[in-house]
Amino acid sequence: MSDRVALVDFGSADDADAALADVRKLNRKESGIHDVAVVVRTAGGHIELHQTGQLATGDGAVAGGAAGLVAGLLLGLPIAGAAVGLLGGGSWGLRDTGIPDKRLRQLGHELEPGHAVLCVLVEERGLPQVRDALAVYGEVLEAGVEPTAP
């Protein structure tokens, strides 16, 4: 099965955040949601990305550091293990998983200033559930996901 992106355009970031709250109520595992992002083009024309499904760099560093510390304790090198874990975890968090940032930024440049768009990366099987949750906010558009380069 392939993944799809469901998109809804909003007149403001606050409206997009309200829809985001409804998407968060869905069971991510049952609905097959992999990533959710709100793209905002501010009144000044700046593009802001609010991604909720990606592992942040800080989260990756903390997880990697904890794993490295445990491994270091087992090997007798706790400080070195934690340092290696922090670096590895931080690098993992920097990977672009989910909806590609480049595509989200392109989408942001297409928005009118002050507008926002909610993007949900979902497995095809969960698309009807996501579409139903977002239909109250307006037209739900769908797009395929381009494979990422290795």
Locate 81 and state its tokens: 């293990």
d(CA 1, CA 147): 13
pLDDT tens digits, one per residue of 20-68: 999 988 887 788 888 899 999 999 999 999 877 543 434 444 444 444 4
How many residues make up the chain in this entry? 150
d(CA 77, CA 84): 11
Helix 57-75, helix 78-94: angle, nearest 10: 150
Beta-carbon contacts of residue 3 (< 8 Å; ≥ 6 apart): 34, 121, 122, 123, 124, 145
Q: Is the pLDDT of residue 91 over 70?
A: no
pLDDT tens digits, one per residue of 65-86: 444 444 444 444 444 444 444 4
- Please give the domain boundaries of the chain with CATH numbers for all domains: 3-54+98-144 (3.40.1520), 57-93 (no CATH)
Strand order in the sheet with 33-41: 47-51, 33-41, 116-123, 3-10, 141-144
d(CA 77, CA 41): 48
